[in-house]
Amino acid sequence: MPGPTVDTREAFTRLTKEYPDENVEAARHAFLMSKLHLVRTHPDVELADRERMVTAMAERLELGYEAMRTPVPGGVGYGVYYNEVFKRAFATGTALGWDIICPSAPGGNVNDYLYVTAMNRAVLGVEAFVSYYAQTPPRFKVYDWARPATPWQLDIPLSSLGPYLRTVASHGEIFQVMGVTNTTVEVASGKWRNEVQLWNASTGNQDLVYQFDYAATLAKQTAADYNGSWGPIIETFQTAYSGTIPLGGLAISLVTRDINGNWGPWGLLPWYNSYIRTDNVGFYVQFLDPNYNFSVKS
């Protein structure tokens, strides 16, 4: 992705402390319960495998048996999942870069949580996403799957991130977007790093907003696990949506690092490495360039 990297982690940590989310506990609970629901309702996984994955994820999230069985409405309004072969097709690193279509409010009948989120294929990667709650101002959040004790790292109102918001034109419409790069890379034998960078439209830099080093193996990062399987998706929490304004992702691109530590070229996510999931909760497609651009509304 273009531009030099500038370390802005201290500023983003400070913003998280200065602008706390008054609904933080409910938001965190909803996030965890939704992840179990996405596994349980996955249309392309056999029922027995779904239950195995639900149990594994509940253990990872340190949730009890009752939480595993609690029904949650919603699912995936629309979005991209990686094919299993492509999900595991990296050796020492993987990165996802995309523009999140993130209006200042979702509109319509949204009265619960709604996320525009993604992972970069690594099982222990991060989600750097835009979170909506009803019609209140949206927030940018980072959840690190490599930190089970302290996974929540950034939580900042979009209104405080003006330099990272810009407008772009696609398919005859103008969208407000945020450019996010999400990287998981091996920095030494048995040591991996998660990073999140935001494209600063005012300076032309990639601003490093989050970083964490941890012990892991390639086998763990590329395990046959539900985690890391979703690319950009609209994650939903209601049974039906209507009247929402466009949400989605543009220029969805990935890059792979090989066994020798060499990064390949960035490439747009093609249809043959991914597929579309929709749980029929009211969203319909404005456009889809398979599968690197999409916009949906209800």
pLDDT at 33: 82
pLDDT at 57: 76
pLDDT at 40: 79
pLDDT in tens, 235-244: 999 989 999 9
pLDDT in tens, 80-130: 999 999 999 999 999 999 999 999 999 999 999 999 999 999 999 999 999
Nearest to 180 by CA among 154, 211, 145, 209: 209
Strands 230-236 and 247-257: unpaired
The model's pTM: 0.92
Mean pLDDT score, 207-227: 96
Mean pLDDT score, 51-79: 72
Res. 43: pLDDT tops 80:
no
Least confident of 61-65, 145-149, 153-157, 284-288: 61-65
Res. 67: pLDDT tops 70:
no
pLDDT-derived band at 56 (thresholds 50, 70, 90) equals confident
pLDDT at 212: 98
Mean pLDDT score, 139-154: 96
pLDDT at 62: 74
Res. 223: pLDDT tops 80:
yes
Please give the single-letter amino acid code of residue 248. G
Mean pLDDT score, 11-20: 95
Q: If you search the block for the tokens 């049974």, which residue do you land on?
A: 239
With beta carbons less than 8 A apart as the criterion, state whether 214 and 203 touch: no
Say how far apart CA 251 and CA 268 lie, in whole Å. 7
pLDDT at 58: 75
Provide CB contacts within 8 A for 267, sequence distance 6+.
253, 254, 255
